[in-house]
Structure 1
Amino acid sequence: MSKKMVTLNELLEIKDFAERVTLVNKHGNLNNQITHVTIMEGPDLHEWVTGGEFVLTTWYAFSKSPDLQEDGFKKLAPRISAIGIKTGRFINKIPLKILQLADQYRLPIFEVKTAVKFRELVQTITSEIQNYQTNMLIEVEKNYQKLIHTSLNSDDLASLVNVLGNQLHKNCFCLNHEGKILASWSRRGTRKQDFLDWTEKIKTGFNERIYTDAGFFINELHIFECYARSQLIGRFIIVAEGQLTEKERLIGQQGASFLAIKLWDHYETLQKTVERFWKEIKNGEIKSGEVIAEKLANLGFVQQKAYNLILFSKGSHNISNYLIDRFLIEEEKFYILLCSSKEALTSINIFKKYNKEQNKIAAAVISPEFTELERIKEHYEMSVNVIRLLYKLHISGVRKAEEWLPFSLLMHCRNTSEYNFIKTTVLDKLQEYDRRYQSSLLDTLSAALRENSLEDAAERQHIHINTLRYRLGKIKEITQKNYFKMTDRYFLLLCIMIQRMEHEQL
Structure 2
Amino acid sequence: MGFMVEDLLRTEECREMKLICGEQGLKNEIKGVTIIEAPDIVKFINGGELLLTGLYAFKSCSIEEFQNYLQELRKKEISCLVIKKGRLVEHADRKIELLREYACKNGIPLLDVPFDMSFQRVLAIVMEHLFNEEVTLLKYFKTTHDNFTALTLGNIRSENLTRPILEMLEKLIRNPVALYNQNRTCFESTAEDRSDLVFLDNLEDYDPDVLTNYQYWRQKGEQNQYVIRIHMSVGVQMYLVVTEKTPPFTKMDCIAIENAIVALQYEFSRQFAIEELEKKFQNDILNNILNGKVSSDAEMEKSANLLQMDKNGSYRVIVFGVKNEGRAAKNVNDRLMHISCLEEAVRHRFSDMKLHREIDKIVAVRKADLNATQADYRKEMREMIEQVQTEMRYQNKNLSVRAGVGKIVTGLGQLPESYKEAEDALSFIDIGGDISGDGNASVMMFSDFGIFKLLCQLDEPKILMEYIPESLQRLLSYKKPQQEDLIATLKAYLKNNQNLSKTAQELYVHYKTAAYRIEKIAKITGMDFDNANEMLAVRIGLVVCKMIENYNKK
One-letter code of the match for 2:196? T
- CA 1:458 to 1:84, structure 2 compared with 1: closer, same or farther past 3 Å? farther
The match for 1:355 is 396
Counterparts of 1:389 and 1:433, CA distance in 2: 23
Alignment-derived partner of residue 140 in structure 1 = 141
Indicate the residue corresponding to 2:480 in structure 1. 435
Taking the aligned partners of 1:489 and 1:55, their CA distance within structure 2 comes to: 89
3-state secondary structure, aligned to 1:364: strand
The answer for the alignment partner of 2:349 in structure 1 is: 326
Q: Which amino acid aligns with 2:392?
A: F
1:457 aligns with 2:503: yes
Partner deviation per Cα, 1:75-104 (whole Å, 9 max, x = no partner): x9xxx9979899844994888xx89xxxxx
Cα RMSD for the two superposed structures: 6.2
Matched residue, 1:5: 2
Q: How does 1:52-451 map to 2 (within 5 A)?
A: 88-89=97-98, 92=101, 109-112=107-110, 132-149=133-150, 151-155=152-156, 157=161, 161=165, 164-165=168-169, 168=172, 170=174, 195-198=190-193, 200=194, 203-206=195-198, 213-214=214-215, 225=230, 227-231=232-236, 240-241=244-245, 244-274=249-279, 276-277=281-282, 283-284=289-290, 295=308, 311-312=321-322, 314=335, 316=338, 325-327=348-350, 331-334=358-361, 342=383, 344-352=385-393, 354-356=395-397, 361-366=398-403, 377=419, 380-382=422-424, 384-385=426-427, 400-402=442-444, 413-422=458-467, 425-435=470-480, 441-451=486-496
Counterpart residue type for residue 363 of structure 1: S
Distance 1:129 1:123, change over 3 A: same
1:457 to partner: Cα distance: 2.3
Please state whether the residue corresponding to 1:355 is helix, strand or coil.
coil
SS at match of 2:192: helix
What is the TM-score of this pair, normalised by structure 2? 0.52
Q: Distance in 1 between matches of 2:127 and 2:455?
A: 72
Secondary structure at the residue paired with 1:247?
helix
Q: Which of these two proteins has the greater Rg computed from alpha carbons? A: 2
Provide, for residues 449-468 of structure 1, a one-character-per-residue CA deviation record: whole Å limited to 9, x for no partner. Answer: 35563223245354526424
Q: Does 1:471 align with 2:498?
A: no
TM-score of the superposition, structure 1-length normalised?
Answer: 0.56
1:33-44 alignment runs, 5 A limit: none
Q: Judging changes above 3 Å, is the alpha-carbon distance between structure 1 residues 353 and 268 closer, same or farther for their aligned structure 2 residues?
A: closer
In the TM superposition, what is the alpha-carbon distance from 1:440 to its structure 2 partner? 5.7
Deviation of 1:197 (Å):
0.8
Change over 3 Å in CA distance of 1:471–1:349 after alignment to 2:
same
Higher helix share: 1
Mean CA deviation greater in 449-458 or 206-215: 206-215
C-alpha contact 1:386 1:401 (8 A) present in aligned 2? no
CA shift in 2, pair 1:400/1:196, >3 Å:
same
Q: Deviations over 1:175-206 (max 9, x none)?
A: 6979565xxxxxxxxxxxx93514x1xx4235
- Counting matched residue pairs gives 415
| 1:425 to 1:21, Cα distance in 2 relative to 1, 3 A | farther
- 1:433: Cα distance to partner? 3.7
Shift of 1:136: 1.4
Deviation of 1:470 after TM superposition, in Å, equals 2.1
Identity rate of aligned residues, in percent?
A: 11
Q: Structure 1 counterpart of 2:156, which letter?
A: D
